[in-house]
Amino acid sequence: MKISLRDKFPNLQVETTKGTINLPDDYKGKWFVLFSHPADFTPVCTTEFVSFQKKKKQFNELGVELIGLSVDSLESHYRWIEWIKEKIHVEVDFPVIDDENRKVSETLGLIHPNEDDTATVRAVLIVDHNGKVRTILEYPKEIGRNMNEILRTVKALKQASIKKVFAPANWPCNEIIGDKVLFHREKEDDPALDDERGIYSLSDWFVYKNLDE
């Protein structure tokens, strides 16, 4: 199985460093970010786990939970988390999935078919409050993820879901419209009222406004 955007996240019961979790049911009404890493006790993955932990509060404030995954055992996860605590003085407190049998990774399509080893790819799945996959990001083993970009993506997706708007390139620092957002006019919208409603346009198809409007 290879999961795609807008797919329903498959029902999975997983064992984690925080106990048994039923995905996506245990996160009903919440968003979650599931991120896979190639292996425990590797340098790039270690820097990522520390970065995710340091950003965890910001994710939680957005109503988003974090879940790690690799084809390592719970014992390996526990030892690695303890190593991070002892050497880097950061306590990783989000759940990490035991996938030694590769069942979860294979179900989600996170084992690269063209790699010689069996490690999980470096991927990110952002799943919304309805259990639907909203973003899939995949990175090479050589490059660590940018947590600020993942946070930005979550913020933009949540605004898109709630307010039916679209985030421009580099939002909220777009080169054309700054921190404003794009949207489609409704049929009943009267362009004559744009000024008082804080709506701007460059054409009938390029319409934008302040996010709070």
The pLDDT tens digits for 52-78 are: 999 999 999 999 999 999 999 999 999
Question: Would you state the pLDDT for residue 196?
Answer: 76
The whole-angstrom distance between residue 77's C-alpha and the CA centroid of its chain comes to 21
Helices assigned H by DSSP within the chain: 43-61, 74-88, 103-107, 147-163, 194-197
Rounded CA gap, 4 and 79, in Å? 33
**Model pTM?**
0.92
Q: Which one is predicted more confidently, 114 or 33?
A: 33
Do the Cβ atoms of 211 and 163 come closer than 8 Å? yes
Tokens 């979550």 correspond to what residue? 154
- Integer Cα distance of 10 and 132 in angstroms: 9
Same fold yes or no, 12-144 and 164-213:
no
Residue type, 124: V
What one-character DSSP code corresponds to residue 164? Answer: -
Q: What type of residue sits at position 3?
A: I
In the structure encoding, which two tokens stand for residue 110, read together?
């996170």
173 included as an active-site residue:
no
12-144 architecture in CATH? 3-Layer(aba) Sandwich (3.40)
Residue 10: is the preceding peptide bond cis (ω within 30°)?
A: no
Is the model's pLDDT at 26 over the cut of 80? yes
CATH assignment of 164-213, given 3.30.450.20, 3.20.20.70, 3.30.1020.10, 3.40.50.300?
3.30.1020.10
- Per-residue confidence band for 27, with pLDDT thresholds at 50, 70 and 90: very high
Cis peptide before 95 (omega within 30 of 0): no
Distance, in Å, from the CA atom of 8 to the CA atom of 134, rounded to the nearest integer, reads 10
Average pLDDT rounded to a whole number, residues 172-183: 96
For 3, the token pair is 């999961």
Mean pLDDT calculated for residue range 181-188: 85
pLDDT digits (tens, 9 = 90+) for 101-144: 999 999 999 987 766 565 788 999 999 999 999 999 999 889 99
Q: How confident is the model at residue 22 (pLDDT cuts 50, 70, 90)?
A: very high
Residue 194: the pLDDT is: 79
Domain assignments of the chain as residue spans, ordered by start: 12-144, 164-213
pLDDT score of 213 more than 80: no
Structure tokens at 16: 């984690």
Set 23, 34, 44, 45: catalytic member: 45
Q: What is the pLDDT of residue 1?
A: 55
Q: How confident is the model at residue 188 (pLDDT cuts 50, 70, 90)?
A: confident
Contact 129, 30 (CB under 8 A): yes
